[in-house]
Amino acid sequence: MAHSRPKIITYSSSWTLVPTHYCRNTCGYCAFVQRTGARAQLVSINEARREIERAHAAGATELLIMSGEGVEESRAVRDALSREGYTTYIDYLIAVARIALEYDILPHVNIGNVGEDELRALRAVAPSMGMMLETLDAGLRRSAAHLRAPDKEPARRLQTLRAAGAARVPWTTGLLIGIGETECSRAETLKAIARIHEQFGHIQEVIIQPFTPHTGTLMEEQRAPRFEEVRNAVLLARELLPREVAVQIPPNIAPRFLELVEAGARDFGGISPDGDRINLEERWLAASFYYAQLAKRGYTLRARLAMYDDFITPHWLSPEMLERAARVRRRLPQFAADSLATEKEVYV
C-alpha cells in the first residue's frame, strides 16, 4: 500500500465549520477555546447549511468539522441541541455531515477524544476523521501546556487512536512541536503512532505542526520552535513512520515549506478558500501559489479527497461513502496551465 508517489504533493480543498468554540480544556497555547460569548454557542443547523452552501460555491470538496472537547458540559450547547431536536452532539454532527454530503462535500470530523461507538456512528457519514495526538510527554500535564487539559492525558488519546482503528476510520493525527516536549518524547510519540498503525492500518497521515504563540494565551511569551527543530521532526517522522503514512505540514504555519518537502513532507493538509480559522493570525495563500512554488523544484501539487486514495475501498468505506467519493472526485480542483505564472502571493 503506497500513499505518496515521488514528486506529488497533495492537499485537500477544505472549508472549516466550527460548530462551537466551547471546550472543557484550557491548553496553554490555544487561541480557539471560548467558554462565554457568541462563539461559545452552538451553530444552528440552518447556519451550518448556509456555511456549507458557501463552501460549495467556493469549490471546497472537504468540510472540516472542528470543535473542542466535552462540549455537552456547556449548558448553552445542551440547550441549543435540545432546541434543534438532537439528544447528543454526535447526532447533531451527523445531521451537519449529511448536509455536506448533499452538496458533494466530504466531512472530516475532528472533535478530540471520541469513543468507539460514536466513531462507528460518525463513520456512516464521514469518510475520514482525526485528532492530534500532540505528544506522549507526560511531563506536559504538569506544565502550562496541558495542566488544565484533562483530555490531553496521553493514555486517553492513545485509546482514541486505537478506537478509530477498531472502528475502521481513516485517521489523521499529528505532533505539536515546541510546546515543551523533549526530543526523545517526539520519537516515542511517532513510534506509538507507528505501532497502532501496524495493528489497524488506519493512519493516513501524521501532521508535524509547529507551535505558534498566540496573544492572550498562557504560553504567549514562549518562543516558536526554530526551523531546524521542525525540519528535524519531519525527518524523524519520515524515518520512524511506515512509508504508506504521509507526513503533512501546514504550509501557512511553516513558511519554509519547500525545505520541509525536501525533508520528506508529502501533504499540505487543507488549503482553505476561506483562510485558516484556527490559527487566525497566520497568513494563508491560495493553492495556485504553492503549485507554482513547488513546480520550480520539480514537484506537482495535486488536490486529493478528504481521505487518501488507498482508503477508498469497501474495507474502509460504506457503499454510500464509496459512491460519494466518486462524485466528489469530479469536483476536485485542477490547476490551469497559467498557474505556473502565478508568482505573486495571493491571500485568501
Quick one: which of 338, 212, 336 has its CA closest to 276? 212
Nearer to ligand SF4 (CB atom), residue 112 or residue 225: 112
Binding letters toward ligand SF4, positions 151-190, x by CB under 6 A: x---------------------------------------
- Report the site for ligand SF4 in 44-103 (rule: CB under 6 A): 68-69
Q: Give the residue, chosen from 10, 13, 16, 27, that forms a contact with ligand SF4 under the rule CB under 6 A.
A: 27
Applying CB under 6 A, does 149 fall inside the site for ligand SF4? yes
Span from 22-30, 97-105, 113-121, 182-190 in contact with ligand SF4 (CB under 6 A): 22-30
- 66: cell is 472542528
Quick one: which of 194, 185, 276 has its CA closest to 233? 185
Quick one: which of 24, 25, 32, 8 has its CA closest to 277? 32
Nearer to ligand SF4 (CB atom), residue 10 or residue 209: 209
Applying CB under 6 A, does 30 fall inside the site for ligand SF4? yes
Span from 28-36, 222-230, 267-275, 335-343 in contact with ligand SF4 (CB under 6 A): 28-36
Number of residues that bind ligand SF4 (CB under 6 A): 12
Where on the phi/psi map is residue 201: left (φ > 0), alpha (ψ -120 to 50), or beta?
left
* Smallest separation, CB 132 to ligand SF4 (Å): 8
Span from 25-33, 80-88, 97-105, 119-127 in contact with ligand SF4 (CB under 6 A): 25-33
Nearer to ligand SF4 (CB atom), residue 26 or residue 159: 26
Span from 19-27, 43-51, 247-255, 281-289 in contact with ligand SF4 (CB under 6 A): 19-27
Applying CB under 6 A, does 279 fall inside the site for ligand SF4? no
Applying CB under 6 A, does 23 fall inside the site for ligand SF4? yes
Q: Give the residue, chosen from 11, 15, 32, 89, that forms a contact with ligand SF4 under the rule CB under 6 A.
A: 32
* Smallest separation, CB 232 to ligand SF4 (Å): 24
Q: Give the residue, chosen from 8, 26, 116, 224, that forms a contact with ligand SF4 under the rule CB under 6 A.
A: 26
Q: Give the residue, chosen from 18, 25, 45, 162, that forms a contact with ligand SF4 under the rule CB under 6 A.
A: 25
* Smallest separation, CB 25 to ligand SF4 (Å): 4
Applying CB under 6 A, does 276 fall inside the site for ligand SF4? no
Sign of the torsion formed by the C-alpha atoms of 37, 119, 197 and 307: negative
Q: Interface residues with ligand SF4 (CB under 6 A)?
A: 23, 25-27, 30, 32-33, 68-69, 112, 149, 151
